[in-house]
Structure 1
């Protein structure tokens, strides 16, 4: 019988594991060529085809690069907020938190304008396939969804307008003779990873502000900084609850001995509420002075899209802050059952007519 995976929850252990290159990303959906890349990583070999892409994407997602998207994001949010204000409220996930990050990633990839709503159930199937305790049917459905998105994006990448990110992807693919199917897979993972967690960051931030009206008022008055709110949302209700890693060799993390090939889950959400690191960890407090949350990973596994996610969340909260004062929301939370993401299925909010 296979031993259950190790689950790390203490801040120090999770931070050390995130910074240990001997632990590589767990990819339960990998098959074929992608599975070969995973096996190479577990054997300690670096994929010569993935590293150049990673380096080029890291350059394209630096703060000064993503800042050029500000006008696009602002215009998108102003349109969504205007429609919502006219209606007196909105369903945050379907009207804002999901479509905005997808549209931003599509713009980065130079994709033609399209209805992205059809991607939501496919993304959610991919999420379930990656989850702790996913079944083989879950993984089968996830691979089907992943292939469907790859087909969708593959045809559009062929027609994509030139953007710095598209140029980077094409340059790496041409230099290494990479087949179109793998390029489409890259596009799929960029579109999925660049939007799924940002969706949850935005929705969770809005819910927390409505639940803490004194913070929403301080934000509207300019007393509380947007960046401080985002960091505290990331710590308390970060979109990624945990990540899977596979050991490439025997190693020790804290008091835990891990054997080569073992699956380990690093629970970011638990680490970010570790009382040994954060005082009164369950309290929403944008003024807290101790930082260092692990919501975007750390060190060798720091999230490539962190700057972009922050930009989108910052502009959303900046544009919506007058409307969030006095806003109310549905009394019960509608959380997705997935274990590795702190994800809402829906979030219905109403604006205060006097404020709006």
Structure 2
């Protein structure tokens, strides 16, 4: 627990998400916050909101802006806005209405449920190909060998990225993910900005080619997406494609990695899913709740507001603890217990309100296929370590590696 002793001997709570213990196990800290100070002003000058009902209220309140919650270290480069800031300023994630409303409406015309479902059979093939490569080895790292390459392959296929370009795309997506990672040292700014520039230049050429020769892919669909006379600008097209990689990869990697760790630590629940593969949809929802890939949403108050009896003044930053809300006993009975049959699981793993994750359907499909395939094809899966290392990222919760054994196929 993060505490500090005052001069009179009284021990007070100090929330610091940058400490290693937070990344290892944030849940005791969340419990303390919800119980003792659910609307907490941290020593970092950030309001911390931890209860489910308060987080939902905040996610739906237009006075809490996404547009002003960017990571500042990329904000200047030789006196002009950096590529990352230029990217963020056009991004759906970091826009408020009416701009957000317009962008989401246009993107949804191309990135819809029908398109996601049409990817299902291809995702099954991708998963089987990845498992074919490791099945004879008897051991694997679920992150490096499986959960990280899967979304890169899926999103590449969805966008229509040529096979020959996908290895380079993997490198770009690695750097783009740092946009959401304030834990990295500031000297990573150059590498991230360079990746943004290179990926942007690549997409400019690919989009130009698709304008001339449309294909049955998402880039072509985004080009053609219209709402009456409105359509995505060139910059908005670029940003939509780039951020689809950065966010879509991280969400799926961590859904699969965190989900498999949770199952392997709860063998009775794992056996229940092995015996009943049709439970997978409900299981994935519970795994998303139990170890949410996205733990914290950042917002900025653009007007003063009251939440949970406290006033948040205009201009102050706010952290919404999705991971804590998803363990709130007022919403989820016995919240620290993994229960794959949990009913009415209205978790916040994909957010809520106008910024609810546009790609949640694709992440769910990949998670369902990947987890079911892993436990059915490799039924003897066992953890190689009881203490896998968590990545140092205050917003995203995911593993550095997840080594497992499963016995060689005879």
Q: For the residues of structure 1 that align with 2:140 and 2:176, how far apart are their CA atoms?
A: 26
Match of 1:46 among 73, 98, 101: 98
Distance 1:141 1:46, change over 3 A: farther
> Contact 1:239–1:343 (CA<8 Å) still a contact in 2?
yes
Match of 1:334 among 383, 389, 397: 389
Q: For the residues of structure 2 that align with 1:75 and 1:36, how far apart are their CA atoms?
A: 36
Residue number in structure 2 paired with 1:95: 145
Alignment of 1:301-320 (within 5 A): 301-320=355-374
SS at match of 1:344: coil
Listed one character per residue, the Cα deviations across residues 213-235 of structure 1 (whole Å, up to 9, x for unaligned) are 22222212117700121011100
Q: For the residues of structure 1 that align with 2:143 and 2:232, how far apart are their CA atoms?
A: 36
Residue number in structure 2 paired with 1:207: 261
Distance 1:58 1:182, change over 3 A: closer
Deviation at 1:177, TM superposition (A): 8.2
Match of 2:306 among 252, 255, 258: 252
**Which runs of 5 or more residues in structure 2 are unaligned?**
1-42, 76-80
Q: For the residues of structure 2 that align with 1:171 and 1:264, how far apart are their CA atoms?
A: 37
Deviation at 1:107, TM superposition (A): 1.4
TM-score by length of 2: 0.75
Q: For the residues of structure 2 that align with 1:327 and 1:186, how far apart are their CA atoms?
A: 37
1:27 matched to 2:81? The reply is: no
Listed one character per residue, the Cα deviations across residues 279-312 of structure 1 (whole Å, up to 9, x for unaligned) are 2222211122352110011122211011111111
Residue number in structure 1 paired with 2:163: 113
**Cα RMSD, aligned residues only:** 3.0
Distance 1:159 1:207, change over 3 A: farther
**Which runs of 5 or more residues in structure 1 are unaligned?**
none
TM-score by length of 1: 0.86
1:11 matched to 2:65? The reply is: no
Match of 1:234 among 262, 279, 288: 288
Alignment of 1:106-145 (within 5 A): 106-114=156-164, 116-119=166-169, 122-132=172-182, 136-139=186-189, 141-145=191-195
Q: For the residues of structure 2 that align with 1:215 and 1:324, how far apart are their CA atoms?
A: 16
Residue number in structure 2 paired with 1:71: 121
> Contact 1:110–1:166 (CA<8 Å) still a contact in 2?
yes
Q: For the residues of structure 2 that align with 1:5 and 1:141, how far apart are their CA atoms?
A: 28
Deviation at 1:202, TM superposition (A): 1.1
SS at match of 1:257: strand
Matched residues, number: 349
Q: For the residues of structure 2 that align with 1:207 and 1:334, how far apart are their CA atoms?
A: 11
Listed one character per residue, the Cα deviations across residues 225-255 of structure 1 (whole Å, up to 9, x for unaligned) are 0012101110011110111112232222222
More divergent stretch after superposition (229-238 vs 313-322): 313-322
Residue number in structure 2 paired with 1:283: 337
SS at match of 1:86: coil
> Contact 2:277–2:372 (CA<8 Å) still a contact in 1?
no
Distance 1:144 1:76, change over 3 A: same
> Contact 1:99–1:116 (CA<8 Å) still a contact in 2?
no
Q: For the residues of structure 2 that align with 1:69 and 1:156, how far apart are their CA atoms?
A: 21
